[in-house]
Each structure stands twice: as C-alpha cells, then as structure tokens.
C-alpha cells in the first residue's frame, strides 16, 4: 500500500486535477492507495478572510463565499463538461449553504472563536476531496471517500491540534480492514476532538494527515506530490542554480523543514520516521522527475552541506542582567512563561557568562512575549537584577543543514567568513551537539544575498559570480567593457569567475539589468536608459544587495569619489582608475583604507600610478614581506615621456602635446600632465603605500611650464604653448649642449618627494625609455644596490583598461 498526498498547487484547477487523476490511476493499477487531498489553491486563505469579514461586521463575507462557490463550480464544469453528477452538485451546494449559515452567526455575535474558525476552514478540504473522488469514479477508478474527522482524533488545541496517535491508528486500521476499495480518498488537514468538534492540524497539515495514514497502514511509501521536483539545496526563489537533493535522511529533512523549506510540513516526518517509511517528494507537473527520497539512512552524497534554509519574520528576545549570573532557574522560568502563552521558541543561544539568554520566535508574538516575560520577572526587573525583556524585529534565521558537516572541520568558519566577506552581520549563532545544523540570525534584508553566497561556497562547481557596477564609459571604460566581453569565456573556464556587469553609468544616465548587461551592445542600451545622477546610481547598488559586488570607477570625477565610503561600508569593493581618492587628504585616504579593512572589501587603485604596470601591487608585496623602501625614482608620466621623446625642435611643442592627447595618453585636461600635477599625485600615492605620511602640498613640484600656460581654457593653453615655443626649445637645446636628454622624474627619498624635468646622461636607467614608457626603480633594504625595476607602457586606453581589469580579477579572487 502507498499513501499519496496532493497539495493545493496540484489541485489548483481542472487542468491540474486531470494530471492528478492520471497519476492516481497509474498507481492504483499497481497497488492499493490512500489519497490525501488539500483544498484547492487559495481556498484556505479565502475561508480565513470570509470568517474575519463576518467577525468585523462586514457583509462582504457573502461576496467572498460567492467567489469560493464560483471557483469550485468552475473546477467542476472543467472536470465534468457535459454534466455535473447530481449528488456532487447537491453536496457542494449544501456545504456552501452551511458555510454561509456559520458566517451569518459570526456576523450576528461579532465573534470568531478558534473553534468556529476550524469549522470554517474544514470546508476547503472536504469539498475538494469530494470533487476529486467523483472525478476518479468518472474516470473509471473506483474509490471510497472517507471523512478524515471520523478517523483522526486530536485534543482541543484549535489551530494546531495534537493527535492521539494510538487511538487514531486503531481507527484507521479498523477502517482499512473493513473497506474493500482499492483507492481511499480522504480530506487532509482536518480532524475531530473527543467531543466531536472539528479541529485542524495546522497550516500544511495535509502532509501530516498523509504521514498519519502511512504510519497507521504500515505503507510501503508516502508520496507527497507538489509543484517542485523534490527538495532543493536552497530556495529557488533566491538561487537560480539550485540543486535537487536526490536523497536525504529523516533528520536532515526535519532540520530543513523546520528552518523554512516549504516542500514538506515539519511534523510530517515524525510518524513515518518511527516506522522507517520512506517519503518521496514528487512533482505533479513533471511526474517523470526523480524527486527527493527521504529515508532513515542515505548514502554519502559527497557534499558537506545537504541544504540551506531560512525563516523570515523573526523576533529576537534578549533576557539579560547581572542578577542572572550563577542563579539557577532563569532559563526555566523564561521558557515556561513563553510556553504558557503558547509561543514557540525557534532558536536558543546563551552566553557562557550566564549574563544573557537570547531566543528567536515568530515576530507576530513579539508583543505578547514581552508582556508575559516582563510579568514573570516583574520583581527582578523592579529591583534591577535583570533588565526588561529586549525585543528586536526584522530578522531571519539562516541554517546550514547536513549530517556530513560533523565529519568536516571548518564548516562554520567557511560559513561565517563567507557571510562576513559579503558584509552580512550575524546577530546570534546556534549549533546543536549533533553538528547537523548551524544557524545564524541575520537581518532579513540580507537573506537573499546570504543564501546565494553560501550556496556558491558549498554547492557551486568552484565558479564565483561577480557583480560589477561600472561608472565611466569614456575611452578607458569602453576598452574595459570590450575586454570583459572578449575574455568572458576564458575567465569562466580558467579562472572560474562569472563576471556579470549589472550596472553602467555615465555622467547623465544609469543602466541596470538584474541578469547582467550585454556588454557588446551597452552603448545603445545606455542611450535609452533613464536620467540618473552618479549619486542615484551608487545609491541603488547597496539596495540591490548582491553578493560579491564590485564598483569600478573609470572617471576623474570628485562626485564619484564622494560615494566610496557608503559603498565600502556595505562591503562593496572598489576598483579606482580615478586618482582623486588615493591622492586626496591623507586622513581621507586612510579612512577609505580602514573602511575596506573593517568591512572586508577591496580598495584597489593599481592604475593610479602606472596604468597597466604592476607598480602598486609590487610595492605592496615588498612591504608586506617585511622589506623597507629607501628610495623611489620613477618616470610616471607616459604623456611627458612621449612628449619629450618626440620633441626635437623640428615640430612645435604644442603639436606634440596635441598628438599625445589625440592618441589618448593625456588626462582630459593636458595641463594636469604637463604641470606635474598628475606625476605628483602618483609619487604621493607611492609614498603613502610605502608608509609615508605625506600631503599633496608636501611634494616639491618644479614645473617647466610658463605661468601663462596654466590659465584659461584648454584652447587657451594650446595658444600659450605656441607663444612660448622658444622656452621649450631652450630646454631641449640646453640638454643637448650637455650631451643629455630630458626626462620628467619623480623621486621619493627619506620621506621627501619631488617631481620635475631633469637632464639625464646616457648611463641613467631612464635614458633609453622610449615612446610612452614608464619606469619605476625601487631601492629597498633588500634591493639596496641594484634596484627592482618595473618598466613598460604607462599610458594608453588599452593598457589602462587592462590594469583595471587585473584589479577586478584580483578583487574577485580574494
């Protein structure tokens, strides 16, 4: 014998019920079946609403009853298109009339007792099971309908009645012996107390009905048919790539169902577990899918964690006070007070100092809990031994479940490190001695991100999803997006990173796509995107609350830099091509570094100094390994190197500068390069990364530009360059007369920094720098005589974009 339970989604309408009929027919051909049925989808909520309307004196309850009747009539017309069997039609009509009569009584007295509500709720399962029983008969499947209230005996705890299993099992067995039908159809969810009043087994209680019948009948299996193909590794509403769990044991299933897995009702497992009866979760709409088999023991699935689950709408109660330390009985009194009020405790944790106890409950009971607990400890609160009960809401419980966790060290460490890396604060932790469950209380707003982060950590193939937000789509920004698109397959296959560009912004518009933007077509998409300031763009990023988020600043805007702190505080990493932050006031620079450290985020700005050259990364490796920087000499401006490598007097200086700008080597305003400001920023950043405390004003800047070149617009700047051609010619002729060349060099020595144009001889390390090359010489304690040299192209959109890309990869893999 098998027991088959079909949930509300499986019997939502005539079309889905036809699928149920076929499934039952196939099973009935092989074995005797007990079929347990839920109410039609949405009916239970409609019945609750009907009762509440009547209680409030709103005669709108009649309209709700009419809607319920209409829905059931539509189902019957779909199942019996030619004619509805008269006995069924009369039964439904009389049942609806009885429902209306009860609600009219509620309306008159303006009171809806729990007992009366139970009676109202029972109509859903009674009518649905009657209709389906008749349809089975119409399909040639002989069956007997039996009211579950005649068999299941409970106490009078209306709303969540406790079952007298011994008496119930005896009644079911007696009935099964007396019945000759191959198929027995019973309504789920409902029962009856010793006085004959209708009770219910709680929301989701049809699963429990199925388990009770399976245990009483010593069934070979309990099948629970629903709208998903078994239990999943996480909630598919949160995680796109969930895994189906093919096998799971009773203990793990109970833990997952307790902590929010909606496929089965938590008490379901208990009766079948006692009899070691397997439970098979199947999909009504994909009956060929294997589903999930729940058994006493299962083979090792190979995964450490079996599933991730969560419960929302949690309130945290905190009882604390110095008067609790060393005094027995406080915990007992707390739990007794909650028990008397019929408030279920979901999670418990207590500090080892005995100074506080923390429990989690359903937040709808929070006010009641505070009242009863403060009453219980009124005397202790009055004399100051303990504080009034603390109540906080807005939480969820997140749980990792799996028997294999006890055989592996470091699971909790991985869990908490993953949550911390994504900026998810843990308010309380609980772990049972069985090590089957690790639970944490977190803010409800973080649940989706937390579940995704943990699922990626414990269930992915090693591929890490990275969510990118890019501000700035100028020349470098476009090259970066091109590189991301062209390298996507390599990054996924070889680096196991799935880079998704979720947001792109320019100075006027912002584009977002939850599933990622097609970077090959971002220009047209951004053109059609809504108007949006950069502040609005960055405000939206934390609200999306996506795991592994990285903000990429490919602008030169101070307004963008102002948004860095709020992003870092939400554990969103920052990759800055923008030099402003790292070269701002020292306190601001350190503040950003501290925020990144505090909130487990990356703040990387490699391209601030050498475009794609690994200058800062190399410097950090030196200092982290204990080396000490003694001196730095550097050519840090690809622009200036290009200019003085190409300026020989045959072409005007202004013409060479304009060429450098056209080829993308200069800042948008070339004066920032030529007046030494850009180089000063770069040496300042290297000085700070070398542990020196310097401000921009501390750097000696020996500018070679005449003062007149610094005023006015960029066009004015070029005009002044042409007027001062003689000055620039004199600089190069002076160097030639000494047998030397001109290079713009930055120096850091003994904590002092300077930048300026220098004449260097052929023996100098920088003498042969060509084109737009940069070079950095690190003289350190270890590299004291022969410096560590980094050399290569130090300007250009492609290499700069590559440097930003490298920082993205570095942050993604950290």
pLDDT digits (tens, 9 = 90+) for 486-516: 999 999 999 999 999 999 999 999 999 999 9
Query: Tokens standing for 274?
Result: 């006692």
Cα–Cα distances in angstroms (integers) from residue 735 to residues 655, 721, 757, in the given order: 21, 20, 11
Query: For residue 482, what are the β-bridge partners?
Result: none
Query: Tokens standing for 285?
Result: 């709409």
DSSP secondary structure letter of residue 337 = H
Helix, coil or strand: residue 698: helix
pLDDT score, position 302 = 66
737-758 b/e with 16+ CB inside 10 Å = b? eeebbbbbbbbbeeeebbbbbb
Region of residue 696 (phi > 0: left; psi between -120 and 50: alpha; otherwise: beta): alpha
Judge whether residue 371 has pLDDT over 70: yes
CA nearest to 188, candidates 129, 270, 136: 129
Q: What is the CA radius of gyration of the chain?
A: 36
Cα–Cα distances in angstroms (integers) from residue 540 to residues 81, 551, 598, in the given order: 52, 12, 22
C-alpha 278/C-alpha 565 separation (Å) is: 54
Question: pLDDT of 600-609, one tens digit each?
Answer: 999 999 999 9
250-287 b/e with 16+ CB inside 10 Å = b? bbbbbbbbbbbbebbbbbbbbbbbeeebbbbbbbbeee
Query: Tokens standing for 370?
Result: 């505070």
Of 232-241, 274-283, 635-644, which one has max mean pLDDT?
Answer: 274-283
CA atoms within 13 A on the CB side of 598: 12
Question: pLDDT of 334-343, one tens digit each?
Answer: 999 999 999 9
C-alpha 193/C-alpha 191 separation (Å) is: 7
Q: Using pLDDT thresholds of 50, 70 and 90, give the confidence band for residue 433.
A: low
> 3-state SS of 63-111?
HHHHHHHHHHHHHHHHHCCCCCCHHHHHHHHHHHHHHHHHHHHHHHHCC
Question: pLDDT of 434-464, one tens digit each?
Answer: 678 899 999 999 999 999 999 999 988 788 9
Contact 482, 498 (CB under 8 A): no
Q: In Å, how far from its chain's centre is CA 621?
A: 33
Question: pLDDT of 77-89, one tens digit each?
Answer: 999 999 999 999 9
Question: pLDDT of 180-202, one tens digit each?
Answer: 999 999 999 999 999 999 999 98
pLDDT score, position 48 = 95
Q: In Å, how far from its chain's centre is CA 484?
A: 24
Contact 36, 188 (CB under 8 A): yes
Region 166-189: mean pLDDT is 96
DSSP secondary structure letter of residue 696 = G
pLDDT score, position 669 = 86
C-alpha 8/C-alpha 38 separation (Å) is: 5
Judge whether residue 751 has pLDDT over 90: yes
- Whole-number average pLDDT of the chain: 92
What values do phi and psi take at 417, rounded to 5? -65, -40
Judge whether residue 26 has pLDDT over 90: yes
C-alpha 416/C-alpha 426 separation (Å) is: 8
Q: Catalogue the E-assigned strands of 521-673.
A: 549-553, 573-576, 603-604, 629-635
pLDDT score, position 407 = 74
C-alpha 800/C-alpha 779 separation (Å) is: 25
Cα–Cα distances in angstroms (integers) from residue 53 to residues 48, 103, 660, in the given order: 9, 9, 77
Region 132-150: mean pLDDT is 96
Query: Tokens standing for 334?
Result: 């707390």
Q: Using pLDDT thresholds of 50, 70 and 90, give the confidence band for residue 352.
A: low
**Which is more confidently placed, 261 or 322?**
322
Question: pLDDT of 222-257, one tens digit each?
Answer: 999 999 888 989 888 888 888 889 999 988 888 888
Question: pLDDT of 42-68, one tens digit each?
Answer: 999 999 999 999 999 999 999 999 999
* Percentage, residues of the chain above pLDDT 90: 79
Contact 62, 213 (CB under 8 A): no
> 3-state SS of 629-674?
EEEEEEECCHHHHHHHHHCCCCCCHHHHHHHHHHCCCCCCCCHHHH
Give catalytic residues, as residue numbers.
682
Query: For residue 295, what are the β-bridge partners?
Result: 249
Choose the weakest-confidence range: 388-402, 407-421, 572-586, 610-624.
407-421
Domains of the chain: 2-227 (3.40.1160.10), 307-459 (3.30.2130.10), 464-610 (3.40.50.720), 615-794 (3.30.360.10)
DSSP secondary structure letter of residue 31 = S
Judge whether residue 326 has pLDDT over 70: yes
Q: Catalogue the E-assigned strands of 683-724.
A: 700-702
Taking the CB of residue 302, how many other CB atoms lie within 10 A of it? Answer: 6
Query: Tokens standing for 474?
Result: 């100028």
Region 386-395: mean pLDDT is 94
Choose the weakest-confidence range: 151-155, 307-311, 406-410.
406-410
Region of residue 140 (phi > 0: left; psi between -120 and 50: alpha; otherwise: beta): left
Q: Using pLDDT thresholds of 50, 70 and 90, give the confidence band for residue 301.
A: low
Task: Report yes or no on whether pTM surpasses 0.85.
Answer: no
Name the percent of the chain in helix, strand, coil, to the closest 5.
45, 20, 35
Query: Tokens standing for 308?
Result: 């991730």
Query: For residue 315, what are the β-bridge partners?
Result: 361
Question: pLDDT of 662-713, one tens digit each?
Answer: 988 887 789 988 999 999 999 999 999 999 999 999 999 999 999 999 889 9
CA nearest to 120, candidates 186, 207, 61, 205: 61
Contact 236, 226 (CB under 8 A): no
Judge whether residue 716 has pLDDT over 80: yes
Q: Using pLDDT thresholds of 50, 70 and 90, give the confidence band for residue 300.
A: low
CA nearest to 550, candidates 480, 655, 482: 480
pLDDT score, position 663 = 87
Question: pLDDT of 550-574, one tens digit each?
Answer: 999 999 999 999 999 999 999 999 9
Cα–Cα distances in angstroms (integers) from residue 342 to residues 140, 158, 265, 336, in the given order: 47, 12, 19, 10
Between the two ends of the chain, the Cα-to-Cα distance in Å is 55
What values do phi and psi take at 389, rounded to 5? -55, 125
């Amino acid at each position: 014998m098998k027991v088959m339970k079909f949930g509300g989604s499986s019997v939502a309408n005539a079309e889905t019920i036809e699928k149920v009929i076929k499934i039952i027919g196939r099973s009935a051909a092989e074995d005797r079946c007990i079929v347990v049925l839920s109410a039609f989808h949405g009916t239970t909520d409609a019945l609750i609403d009907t009762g509440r309307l009547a209680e409030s004196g709103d005669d709108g309850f009649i309209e709700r009853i009419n809607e319920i009747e209409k829905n059931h009539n539509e189902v019957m017309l779909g199942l019996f298109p030619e004619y509805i069997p008269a006995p069924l039609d009369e039964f439904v009509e009389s049942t609806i009339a009885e429902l209306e009569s009860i609600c009219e009584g509620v309306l008159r007295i303006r009171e809806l007792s729990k007992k009366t509500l139970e009676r109202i709720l029972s109509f859903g399962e009674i009518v649905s099971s009657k209709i389906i029983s008749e349809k089975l008969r119409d399909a040639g499947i002989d069956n007997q309908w039996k009211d579950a209230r005649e068999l299941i005996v409970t106490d009078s705890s209306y709303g969540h009645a406790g079952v007298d299993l011994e008496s119930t099992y005896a009644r079911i067995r007696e009935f099964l012996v007396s019945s000759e039908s191959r198929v027995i159809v019973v309504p789920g969810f409902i029962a009856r107390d010793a006085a004959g009043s209708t009770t219910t087994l709680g929301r989701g209680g049809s699963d429990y009905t199925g388990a009770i019948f399976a245990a009483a009948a010593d069934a070979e299996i309990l099948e629970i048919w629903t709208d998903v193909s078994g239990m999943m590794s996480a909630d598919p509403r949160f995680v796109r790539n969930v895994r189906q769990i093919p096998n799971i044991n009773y203990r793990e299933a109970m833990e997952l169902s307790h902590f929010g897995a909606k496929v089965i009702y938590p008490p379901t497992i208990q009766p079948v577990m006692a009899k070691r009866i397997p439970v098979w979760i199947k999909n009504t709409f994909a009956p060929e899918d294997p589903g999930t088999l729940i058994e006493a023991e299962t083979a090792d699935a190979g995964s450490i964690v079996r599933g991730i689950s969560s419960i929302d709408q949690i309130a945290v109660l905190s009882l604390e006070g110095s008067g609790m330390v060393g005094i027995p009985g406080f915990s007992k009194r707390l739990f007794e007070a909650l028990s008397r009020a019929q408030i279920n405790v979901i999670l418990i944790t207590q500090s080892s100092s005995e100074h506080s106890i923390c429990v989690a409950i359903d937040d709808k009971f929070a006010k009641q809990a505070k009242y009863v607990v403060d009453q219980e400890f009124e005397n202790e609160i009055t004399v100051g031994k303990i504080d009034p009960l603390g109540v906080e809401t807005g939480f969820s419980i997140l749980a990792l479940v799996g028997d294999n966790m006890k055989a592996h060290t470091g699971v909790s460490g991985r869990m908490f490190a993953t949550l911390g890396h994504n900026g998810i604060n843990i308010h309380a932790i609980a772990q049972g001695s069985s090590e089957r469950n690790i639970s944490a209380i977190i803010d409800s707003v973080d649940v989706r991100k937390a579940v995704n982060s943990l699922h990626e950590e414990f269930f992915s193939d090693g591929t890490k999803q990275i969510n990118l937000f890019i501000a700035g789509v100028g020349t470098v920004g476009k090259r970066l997006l091109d590189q991301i698109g062209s390298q996507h397959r390599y990054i996924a296959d070889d680096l196991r990173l799935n880079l998704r560009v979720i947001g792109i912004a320019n100075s006027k518009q912002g584009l977002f796509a939850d599933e990622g933007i097609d970077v090959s077509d971002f220009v047209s998409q951004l053109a059609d995107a809504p108007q949006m300031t950069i502040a609005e763009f960055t405000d939206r990023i934390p609200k999306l609350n996506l795991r592994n988020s990285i903000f990429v600043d490919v602008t030169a805007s101070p307004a963008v830099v102002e948004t860095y702190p709020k992003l870092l505080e939400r554990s969103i990493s920052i990759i800055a091509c923008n030099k402003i932050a790292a070269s701002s006031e020292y306190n601001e620079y350190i503040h950003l570094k501290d925020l990144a450290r505090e909130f487990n985020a990356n703040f990387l700005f490699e391209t601030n100094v050498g475009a794609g050259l690994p200058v800062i990364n190399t410097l950090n490796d030196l200092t982290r390994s204990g080396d000490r920087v003694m001196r730095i000499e550097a050519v840090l401006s690809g622009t200036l190197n290009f200019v003085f490598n190409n300026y020989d007097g045959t072409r005007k200086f202004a013409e060479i500068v304009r060429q450098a700008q056209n080829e993308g080597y200069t800042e948008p305003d070339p004066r920032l390069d030529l007046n030494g400001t850009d180089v000063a920023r770069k040496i300042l950043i290297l000085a700070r990364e070398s542990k020196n405390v310097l401000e921009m004003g501390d750097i000696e800047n020996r500018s070679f530009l005449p003062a007149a070149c610094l005023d006015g617009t960029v066009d004015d700047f070029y005009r002044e360059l042409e007027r001062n051609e003689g000055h620039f010619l004199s600089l190069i002729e002076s160097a030639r007369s000494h047998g030397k060349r001109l290079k713009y060099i930055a120096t850091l020595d003994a904590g002092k920094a300077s930048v300026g144009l220098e004449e260097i001889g052929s023996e100098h390390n920088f003498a042969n720098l060509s084109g737009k090359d940069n070079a950095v010489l690190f003289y350190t304690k270890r590299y004291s005589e022969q410096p560590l040299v980094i050399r290569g192209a130090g300007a250009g959109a492609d290499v700069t974009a590559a440097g930003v890309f490298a920082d993205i990869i570095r942050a993604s893999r950290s």
